[in-house]
Amino acid sequence: MTNVLGIHIGHDSSVALVRDGRIVADAAEERFTRIKHYCGLPIHALDYCLRSCDLSMADIDVVAIPTAASLPDLNFLLDLKGSRREPVSTRRFVLDTVRTILGRQQRRPPLYLKRFPLAERTEIVHVEHHLAHAASAYYTSGRREKQLIVTMDGAGDGYSVCIWRGENGKIMPLEKFPTSGSLGWFYSNVTEALGWWHGDGEGKTMGLAPYGDASKAKGVLEGFYPKFGDGRLVKPHRFLGASYWNEAGAIQWHFDDADEIRQLVERYGRESIAAEAQRILEEQTKEIIFPWMEKEKTANLSCAGGVFLNVKLNQRLWESGKIAHHHIYPNAGDSGLAAGAALYAYYQAHPDAPINKIEDLYWGPSYSDDEIERILRLRNLSYRRVENIEEFTARQLANGRIVGWFQGRMESGPRALGNRSILMSANRPENKDILNARVKFREAFRPFCPSLLWEYRGDYLERPRDEFFMITSFDCRPAKRSQVPAVVHVDGTVRPQTVKQDFNPRFWKLLCEFGRLTGEPLLLNTSFNLMGEPIVCHPREAIRCFCDCGLDLLVLSNFVLQKDGG
């Protein structure tokens, strides 16, 4: 048995464990520190991944690091010594030397922070940033045959867009575009100009775009983005004034373009600028992907990188009819780098191993009923145990209640997929506004996603396909739009999770029970957190969230807490 540990330190620090080609544990450090997009050492995530499989560092065969650069922080985390130490950059060495001469403090972790000493036999490999993204997509696609792999994000190891061929278990580079081709940075600059966090708020820009009219702002963003044609970068863009800000352990970026774009926002309106940015992103991405698919003579496409968290972009690609098999690694952003690096390291050593298709993302911590009940008792909370929890919860949801649903292993990635979810009926249009105002405390335009039974996907979705991870939006069938209005966006789209019984039996049964009561086997499903916070991981965080917002019930495994005493 081969154990590969992927460790990502940076924006969305994370750790993943791959055993014999399968991801068996994966968690972002933010879930433990409770700092969204945490960029420090992933100490808690590393500890969890080992404990989840009852391993020690002595059991690890390879540690994979998703960057080509050296990471001196690994010297502390893995207690590296001698020739195994990560080299320190010249700039860092000079700064530390100057500080020593001046008698100033050096950056050094305290003794009480946990270390994970690496065994002598364990190999350390560095996997270039975009190659780790590419591996996360290809090695979870379930297909060894030829496919185009496209990775796009803001930047990583000096590149922003990379094109690869995946075939027979190997990944081969075809083209790499530097940061002057960063559509990710462009979209994030618009996001900052709209008043949101570069590196976090891009989903808000995407959600706002359908409320605008791109034609009212068409062309006004010329000069702020790179242009592609026939798969080539035909007009690079210089992103000037790059700077960053460390906000409580999470990095935020800024470029000078955002200042100028903000003036356009004031002139043309937030909605129309968002709509134009979305149009440009979709148009330019097509100019990259489709010519390369033609050159490679393949209709199979796999994608990763933060740009592909844009579900409307993914929908436009799928709707083109040019793609036969479309796979997006659902943890597409930087928190997926640890898994990608670990997968790449494994398949480098085992190129003929089967490529497994991921079926779920339940790779995080879980808590037993005994643990949950002990937590409830220690807090002196009034609760009850319900045996048929799915039927009970379905009745509560059918009666208009809002439920915090905490079950099994936490999901990896940015989406709640039925284990750390806030649930509500989608059958009334006002439920979207109720949730945004009373529970999530966020902007009223923000949409919500539906989770629906896989068996009924064709009833709700136009041109449906398996979509288990909320990574692609679809047009909602007109006949269903008025039946589940709380999850239908203003442009008539939905971003679904289709639920199979084998993947999540308890959540599937809940949807069945709700469908039996209401005629709609579909629920509004949003992540179990308040705006600006990571998704809950531990029962105590679920309890805190329950007490701090307008949730009516909290269901922890089979235990129920209710605010109304019902």
Tell me, what's the pLDDT at 248? Answer: 82
User: Concatenated DSSP letters for 28-61?
Assistant: ETHHHH--TTB-S--HHHHHHHHHHTT--GGG-S
23 and 57 together in one domain: yes
Residue 84 belongs to a domain: yes
- Whether 480 and 458 have beta carbons less than 8 Å apart is answered as no
Are residues 314 and 414 both part of a single domain? no
φ, ψ dihedrals at 271, nearest 5°: -65, -45
pLDDT at 341 over 80: yes
Specify the pairing of strand 493-494 against strand 384-385. unpaired
Domain boundary among 106, 129, 152: 129
User: For 380-438, how does the pLDDT look when each residue is reduced to its tens digit (9 = 90+)?
Assistant: 999 999 999 999 999 999 999 999 999 999 999 999 999 999 999 999 999 999 999 99
Torsion over CA: 555, 559, 564, 566 (sign):
positive
Which uninterrupted H or E stretch holds 162?
strand 159-167
Q: Is the pLDDT of residue 94 over 60?
A: no
CB count in 10 Å sphere of residue 91: 8
Tell me the helices (H) and strands (E) count for the chain, helix number first. Answer: 18, 24
Q: Are residues 222 and 115 in the same domain?
A: no
How is residue 71 written in tokens? 């990471």
What is the 8-class DSSP label of residue 435? Answer: H
The domain boundary, picked from 313, 328, 343, lies at 328
Site of tokens 């790779």: 363
User: Does any domain span residue 167?
Assistant: yes
Share of the chain above pLDDT 90, in %: 92
In the predicted model, is pLDDT for residue 236 greater than 90? yes
**Residue 23: band (very low, low, confident or very high) from pLDDT cuts 50, 70, 90:** very high
Burial class (CB in 10 A: 0-12, 13-18, 19+), 335: buried
- Structure-block tokens of residue 153: 């994000």
Between 95 and 349, name the one with better pLDDT: 349
Which of 66, 95, 129 lies at the terminal end of a domain, its last residue?
129
Residue 390: which residues within 8 A CB-CB, separation 6 or more? 506, 509, 510, 512, 513
Contact predicate 264/220, CB 8 Å: yes
pLDDT higher than 50, residue 461:
yes
Q: Does residue 336 lie in a domain region? A: no
In this structure, is residue 341 part of a structural domain? no
- 200 and 289 share one domain: yes
From its phi and psi, is residue 87 left (phi > 0), alpha (psi between -120 and 50) or beta? Answer: beta
Q: Domain span at residue 485?
A: 369-562
Residues 500-527 have a mean pLDDT of: 98
Q: Is residue 26 part of a domain?
A: yes
- Residue 104's pLDDT band, with cuts at 50, 70 and 90, is low
pLDDT tens digits, 360-382: 999 999 999 999 999 999 999 99
Is residue 324 domain-shared with residue 376, that is, in the same domain?
A: no
Q: Is residue 364 domain-resident?
A: no
Do 296 and 375 belong together in one domain? no
- Catalytic residue ranges: 11
**Of 96 and 78, which is predicted with more confidence?**
78
DSSP 84: G
Please check whether residues 266 and 378 belong to one and the same domain.
no
Asked if 45 and 194 sit in the same domain, the reply is no
Whether 426 and 543 map to the same domain: the answer is: yes
What tokens appear for 394 in the block?
Answer: 């379905």
What confidence category does residue 498 fall into, taking pLDDT thresholds of 50, 70 and 90? very high
Task: Report residue 320: phi and psi, to 5°.
Answer: -60, -25
Stretch among 85-94, 234-243, 533-542 having the lowest mean pLDDT: 85-94
Please give the residue that has the higher pLDDT: either 246 or 476: 476
Q: What is the per-residue pLDDT across 176-223, written as a single tens digit (0 to 9) for each?
A: 999 999 999 999 999 999 999 999 999 999 999 999 999 999 999 999
- Got the DSSP string for 300-363? EEEEESGGGG-HHHHHHHHHTS--SEEEE-SS-SGGGHHHHHHHHHHHHH-TTSPPPBP-----
**Tens of pLDDT along 305-319?**
999 999 999 999 999
b/e map 515-552, b = 16+ CB within 10 Å: beebebbbbbbbbbbbeebbbbbbbebbbbbbeebebb
Q: What is the CA radius of gyration of the chain?
A: 23
Amino acid at 191: T
CATH code for the domain in which residue 182 is found? 3.30.420.40
Pairwise CA distance, residues 511 & 457, whole Å? 13
The answer to whether 41 and 34 are in contact (CB under 8 A) is no
User: pLDDT value at position 564?
Assistant: 75
Q: How confident is the model at residue 286 (pLDDT cuts 50, 70, 90)?
A: very high
Residue 352 belongs to some domain of the structure: no
* Banded model confidence at residue 247, pLDDT cuts 50, 70, 90: confident
> What are 289's two structure tokens?
């992907």
The reply to whether 100 and 152 lie within a common domain is no
Q: Looking at residue 554, which CATH number applies to its domain?
A: 3.90.870.20
Among 52, 46, 4, smallest CA distance to 29 is for: 46
Nearest one of 278, 259, 67, 302 to 171, comparing CA atoms? 302
The pLDDT score that the predictor gives to residue 139 is: 98
Burial class for 110, CB neighbours closer than 10 Å (0-12, 13-18, 19+): exposed
Q: What's the domain count of the chain?
A: 3
Whether 233 has a pLDDT exceeding 90, the answer reads yes
Average pLDDT over residues 539-546: 98
Q: Do 69 and 182 belong together in one domain?
A: no
Q: Do the domain assignments include residue 529? A: yes
Give the tens place of pLDDT for each residue, 155-183. Answer: 999 999 999 999 999 999 999 999 999 99
The Cα 141–Cα 301 span in angstroms is 9
Domain identity same for 523 and 450: yes
